Structure 1
Amino acid sequence: MKTKTNPLKRLTVLSLVLLTFGCSKKELEPVETGPVTPTYSFTGTTADELMFEDGEAMSVMTSENRRFDISKVLRVTAVNNTTIEVANFAPVDITDATILATIKGQPQKIQLFHIGTIKGHRVKQIPYPFITGQTEYLDVNNKKVDLSAYKTIGISAAEISFEFTGNTPLIEKLKKLNIMKWQPKMHDFDPQNLDNNWLDEPTAKEFRMFTGFMINFAYMYTDDTMRNRIVNEYVIGNDGVTPLTTAEKEADWIKAQTRTKINCGLTDTRKVTGLGGGSTFGIPDWVTLNFMTNSYTTPFHEMGHVLGYNHSSSMTYPQNKHGNVPVFMARQDEMNLAGDFPVRLANYYKPDDIPAPKKSTTAVVETAKIGEICIQ
């Protein structure tokens, strides 16, 4: 006759076996963790931390220090051996960015600090984190790096450079601008308020919006769809007759990407709509204020002048509905509708700046055509 085993007894025996086995194993060693990258947020409201704020002096808003590299709208620069300046030249808040430092003598880029948030058009000077805080950091391969040698003397500005990285959708868009060489700066081209083609009193609001426009405009020159359409478009050269070759259009695309200094100004629309040529790029305020909802002829026309084309070329004025301008305008509308641009209605940092959307009319477009001027 079979004897039944008590289930409770079996459970007790099994528990004792497991306990004995568990006690006989060596306890797990604690896992060593690397240094934590320090985190900062830049959300200040004091005058020295705000850029293009209402009431800011024109001389400050148009100073050479406000010229920015379109590929580094989140800019970190060395002020001296112990101090750096962190600036966001975009009119949008940037979150979850990591600042990488390349230091002479160090084999890898170093994850110097993390930015939780930097609000639009903010600037702040801070000491290097290794001077006031920790001295151990991680490089881009997550290997530990000791920066204690720099704690007292700092680092010469000539021996360090910075870049930002991150994987948010906004940062991924901004990183696409790495191929662009543009260096925009806002200008008051009529400081004496003379009777000419430039707006007498450009405002901080117009400059805020202008920076956003330039970022989005540059972004179009990173767009493969835009490039393919332009390269395949029928475009007439400066003689008004001869079409540009594929090679010439490809060269113009690269030429546009590699422009450096671009001096941005607002035009007096009572006289002209746009002014462009050389390093000068002038557009009306209604373009800067509405670029997130409407496309206009003026910016693309003026860029044609910047690239060296005259009014006989369809790089400035369309011919038989073909040319640079209509192709760019159509693609801008598509990208706005898809929310593809870095600066959008949804993330612009001062919603009160944005006027109620207006539909562009035939009259507005025709006025733009009449008023645009080429600066030779």
Structure 2
Amino acid sequence: MNRITHVLLYCILFLTACQSDPWEETSRRETSGIVFKLQYDGFDDATSRSSNIRLDAKYDRVEFCIVDAQGSTIEGIKSLYDPNSSEIKIEGLQEGSYTLSILGIIGDETRDGATISPIRNLDEVWLRFPSDIQKPLEAEYFYSRTPFTVVRRSDPSGDELISTTNDQIVQKRIIGRTDFSFDFNNPYVETALLTQNVTLESPLFLTEFSGSGQFSGASDGIDFTMDLGTRSSYLLLPSVEETPLSGEIELTTRNYRGFTIRRTYDFTLQEIRPNTIEHIHTQVEHPDDRSATLFITERSLEKAKPNYILQDDEPYSVYTDGSQRSFNTADPLQISISDDGLLHARFYSPRDLSDVLIQARIPSISEEFFDLAYFDRVPAFVDFYGDLPMATKTTVTRTESGKILEMEPVSLSELQDAEFRISSDDPFWKKLEAIEHGWTIGFALYGGDPELPDGGPVGNWMGIRPVHCREVVALFLNFTYMIDMPEHEEILRANADRLYGNGGVNDKVSVETVLRQMRQKRTLNVGLVYPGNGVIGLGGGSVFGAYQQAWFQHYFNSYSCEIMFHELGHVMGYSHSSSFTYGPWAQELMNHFYVDHIQEMPIDSPLYLNSAQNPNKY
């Protein structure tokens, strides 16, 4: 049986005040039983002295002791704590005056090194903590001492013994709680924390607690450290009177340039009192307080809770609106200043990007680019907004030449005049940077309805959904990267004699013409083709579309790629008589090149999106 079961069946085996017999359910007349219901009070707040509401006690362990008016423990009684009802039931008491002392524990006291000893007198030590304690407490300890009187009451049905004392017992903690809080002058310092530790220096805690509710004993005063990075509140034993606790808070942070900064702050706490919350508040002064550079760590992202674009629950009225959802493949990470002066970063990419520095140049402030923001990670399809310290206070930043630039608060109009530059050592960014000839991509329904189970087909179109839009982003990032690959140009030159136009095989098209057509600026509105009419792809001018399977399989299926390049051939102005649709360019050269070189592409795997397993597909 576990420890709690022992308590239920045998009450407290070690206390002479209570018998080890299990409670027997008999009538009240036969048992003359007395019942006390346990509750516990909330912490008092040291600043407001307010207390939380009372709660029914749900203890992991309960010890109690009953003594008579002479202070002698009572033997020969039956008693039980019932955790389901939060009640102590006592049988076998005679008329007289008594005191009931109760110790309740939430948690496991053995993890604190605490021991509970049998007592024969309330003045004896009941609960003892190690004198060399070097850590905060893990369990909570509650205590109450309740005098009560048992009298005989007569009624027509007979006599019974009752208690004249209120049967509601409210316990209070015999330990204290200390809460640590901080004010940061720069929110990006707070989210760049590496460690937060507090060290109590030679603390003296009361370590012994008697049945009468008195503390005694003292700890050895050994320093110990608590981690504030995982929690900001700690349970501690009461401190010895007239011995204030002193300590040191140590914070280490990193900045976006990779430097670690350590800061320490001293504090003094006058006392730790039972059942009371003490507060230690620190105003953090830090070298990066005046930094103009947004340092976006993982904690910054968690705190900001950014939105994400092209997600499965995004309304089609948003993702088919070109003013809200469109991008150029040569500029997938869109940086701007919002109308309310926030830095806005929107990323059209199925992959995350790491270690991203964003620099800005504002003509009215400096001719040099300066460090505006640094992201540890830019998540795929993120839509991030961040506060700009430079918009509200005097800040400093580092320019591209290494100078320190001080700026008075920058107006919204000045911010919106900014020119941006992005850099990163991430190999993925190197691929995105290599996209020189970007195409502008948007999304269109062409009459379809994505809210209907079948896509609401109209003619050869059905409603494109976000699961398809994300694949559109992947395909066109890869395609516009491919058109500048040296290997791509080589395969075209090696097959120059197989490139012909709308006039048939004798209508030769030069490699330079093909490259120019592929690399020229274009805008496409991409949709989802309905295959029910036997059509699996459509393209021409600014229109492009393919059926669902092709969007999911373009990474590895040469037939799906053939569909894509066939329609791209139409976009480039070629008919079915050319090699760019039902000829070698689409059916042999480009489709196989794309699949064979997928590992070299920016989006080199279907696993980033895993669209084939998406429950929102058709």
What TM-score results when the alignment is normalised by the length of structure 1? 0.75
Q: 1:267 to 1:35 in 2, by over 3 A?
A: same
Q: Tell me which structure has the larger Cα radius of gyration.
A: 2
Q: 1:245 to 1:214 in 2, by over 3 A?
A: closer
**C-alpha contact 1:43 1:119 (8 A) present in aligned 2:** no
1:333 and 2:607 correspond = no
Distance 1:180 1:109 in 2: 25
Superposed CA deviations along residues 15-38 of structure 1, whole A, max 9, x for unmatched, are: xxxxxxxxxxxxxxxxx9997954
Residue aligning to 1:112: 372
Q: 1:152 to 1:78 in 2, by over 3 A?
A: closer
One of 445, 459, 464 as aligned partner of 1:188:
445
1:86 and 2:345 correspond = yes
State the 1:132 CA deviation: 5.1
Q: 1:104 to 1:81 in 2, by over 3 A?
A: farther
Residue aligning to 2:309: 51
Q: Which amino acid aligns with 1:101?
A: A
Q: Which amino acid aligns with 1:236?
A: Y
Q: 1:112 to 1:186 in 2, by over 3 A?
A: same
1:230 and 2:492 correspond = yes
Q: Which amino acid aligns with 1:104?
A: P
Residue aligning to 2:268: none
State the 1:230 CA deviation: 1.8
Distance 2:367 2:331 in 1: 23
Distance 1:183 1:46 in 2: 29
**C-alpha contact 2:292 2:395 (8 A) present in aligned 1:** no
What TM-score results when the alignment is normalised by the length of structure 2? 0.47
State the 1:134 CA deviation: 6.8
Secondary structure in structure 2 of the residue aligned to 1:225: helix
Residue aligning to 2:333: 74
1:39 and 2:295 correspond = yes
State the 1:281 CA deviation: 1.1
Q: Which amino acid aligns with 1:215?
A: L
Q: Which has the higher contact order (CA 8 A, sep 6+)?
A: 1
State the 1:47 CA deviation: 9.2
Distance 1:61 1:36 in 2: 33
Secondary structure in structure 2 of the residue aligned to 1:297: helix
Q: Which amino acid aligns with 1:140?
A: E
Q: Structure 1 regions of 5+ residues with no counterpart?
A: 1-31, 357-376
**C-alpha contact 1:289 1:355 (8 A) present in aligned 2:** no
Distance 2:330 2:448 in 1: 29
Distance 1:140 1:47 in 2: 31
| Aligned pairs, number | 312
One of 256, 259, 269 as aligned partner of 2:531:
269
Distance 1:332 1:268 in 2: 24
**C-alpha contact 1:44 1:50 (8 A) present in aligned 2:** no
The structure with the greater share of residues assigned to strand is: 2
Superposed CA deviations along residues 247-279 of structure 1, whole A, max 9, x for unmatched, are: xx3133123222231111110112211110101
Residue aligning to 1:310: 575
**C-alpha contact 2:536 2:547 (8 A) present in aligned 1:** yes
Superposed CA deviations along residues 206-249 of structure 1, whole A, max 9, x for unmatched, are: 11222112211211112111022224422111111324243xx3
Secondary structure in structure 1 of the residue aligned to 2:419: strand
**C-alpha contact 1:279 1:306 (8 A) present in aligned 2:** yes
Matches within 5 A, 1:219-368: 219-233=481-495, 234-246=498-510, 249-271=511-533, 272-295=535-558, 296-318=561-583, 322-336=584-598, 339-345=599-605, 348=608, 350-351=609-610, 353-355=611-613
Q: Which amino acid aligns with 1:250?
A: E
Secondary structure in structure 2 of the residue aligned to 1:226: helix
Distance 1:78 1:187 in 2: 27
Distance 1:82 1:344 in 2: 36
Identity %: 21
Distance 1:163 1:277 in 2: 34
One of 384, 397, 402 as aligned partner of 1:142:
402
**C-alpha contact 1:95 1:117 (8 A) present in aligned 2:** yes
Distance 1:323 1:275 in 2: 17
